[in-house]
Amino acid sequence: MKSYKIALVKGDGIGPEIIDEAVKVLDAVASCCKLDFSYTEALMGGCAYDITGDPLPEETITVSLNSDAVLFGAIGGTKWDNLPREKRPESGLLRFRKELGVYANLRPAIVYDELINASSLKPTVIKGVNLMVVRELIGGIYFGEPKGRTEDKGWNTMVYTRDEIVRIAHQAFKIAMTRSKRVCSIDKANVLDVSQLWREVVTEVSKGYPEVKLSHMYVDNAAMQLIRDPKQFDVMLTGNIFGDILSDEASMLCGSIGLLPSASIGDKIGVYEPIHGSAPDIAGQGIANPIATISSASMMLRYAFGEIAAANRIDAAIKRALSEGYRTQDLAQFDAKEVCSTSEMGSIIANYIQR
């Protein structure tokens, strides 16, 4: 029996609810696949600030680095909006990513046939969409120096080094080798010097992957093409701010942000989380969709532990639950046979795994 240590960072809002359902599913797959998971909870976000005065306590970093992977819910809420920037939950998350060195954010966008009508786009446009956004996560304009503001002026600096671009490009090409062997690198090289370097370095790295077809696209065109013809993309490689925007756009191809997982990986450890926020307006009501978090647990099994069969088992159970008409509130209008609570959806998926 293989054993893995998982740090649970539940966070704020709906975070605890959706993490609990992912743990339920992990325990189900553990019993079927002869795996053993041990969990250690750690604080981050507004809940951490309320208890410790710091949105990212040092203990959370220690617990995470001493684990095999981190399963993370969501942080933030209006309760903490008026705190100084360095005390806000979002600042804790940025520091967390930097401290753990998770530089590659993987965001798949897969359209389920069972939810083909959930998207605002025509079924003929989105049927069969299966793409992966590979976003550089700890560089670029969110971390660049100098930055600052006065009463009448604010400034941020987009900076990338060659080494930062090389390592994220390798991640994209390696992932493409397991998929359809196509990488589209997204930049703004017609305007930005930093994007000119990005394009040059990505092209250099591509020479080590002769089987992968590389193309380049400006970010404004990519935003349009993602809606016009999303099936043209396999792996989309891009920087921090462009990836932040494009991956949220890609989520709407699928009809609900509550469906989409993500993985943030580095050389030390990976953090696995849904792409949605903490949704404090529905916290505690039992109506949050846990599928994105359960899918994130599947990505953890796949990318952190190499437990492909277990990951496939979770993915198949999610697909079966959707195909049989089980829906949470956000998807209730789309061919629902039964509208489920957060906990009920987790239990349905867990039961399918055990069968």
In this prediction, residues 269-281 reach a mean pLDDT of: 95
Q: pLDDT tens, 111-134? A: 998 899 888 899 999 999 999 999
At 256, the pLDDT band (50, 70, 90 cuts) reads: confident
Q: pLDDT tens, 292-330? A: 999 999 999 999 999 999 999 999 999 999 999 999 999
- Is domain 1-129+257-355 annotated with CATH 3.40.718.10? yes
Is 4 one of the catalytic residues?
Answer: no
Locate the domains of the chain by residue range: 1-129+257-355, 130-252
- Residue 217 is predicted with a pLDDT of 98
Distance, CA of 20 to chain centre = 18
DSSP codes of every residue in 272-320: EEESS---TTTTTTT----HHHHHHHHHIIIIIS--HHHHHHHHHHHHH
- Residue 286 is predicted with a pLDDT of 97
Is 174 one of the catalytic residues?
Answer: no
Residue 303 tokens, joined: 């990318």
The answer on pLDDT for 335 being more than 90 is: no
- Residue 248 is predicted with a pLDDT of 87
Contact of 270 with 64, CB cutoff 8 Å: no
- Residue 121 is predicted with a pLDDT of 92
Is 248 one of the catalytic residues?
Answer: yes
In this prediction, residues 15-44 reach a mean pLDDT of: 97
Q: pLDDT tens, 336-348? A: 999 999 999 999 9
Of the listed ranges 89-103, 137-151, 250-264, the one predicted with least confidence = 250-264
The answer on pLDDT for 355 being more than 90 is: no
Q: Catalytic pick from 142, 315, 319, 335? A: 142
Task: Give the bridge partners for 192, in sequence order.
Answer: none
Q: Catalytic pick from 20, 27, 248, 315? A: 248
CATH superfamily of this structure's domain 130-252: Response regulator (3.40.50.2300)
Q: Catalytic pick from 220, 229, 267, 281? A: 220
For residue 166, the tally of other CB atoms under 10 A from its CB is 13
- Residue 341 is predicted with a pLDDT of 98
At 257, the pLDDT band (50, 70, 90 cuts) reads: confident
- Residue 281 is predicted with a pLDDT of 95
Phi, psi of 15 (to 5 degrees): -50, -50
Q: Catalytic pick from 12, 54, 244, 330? A: 244
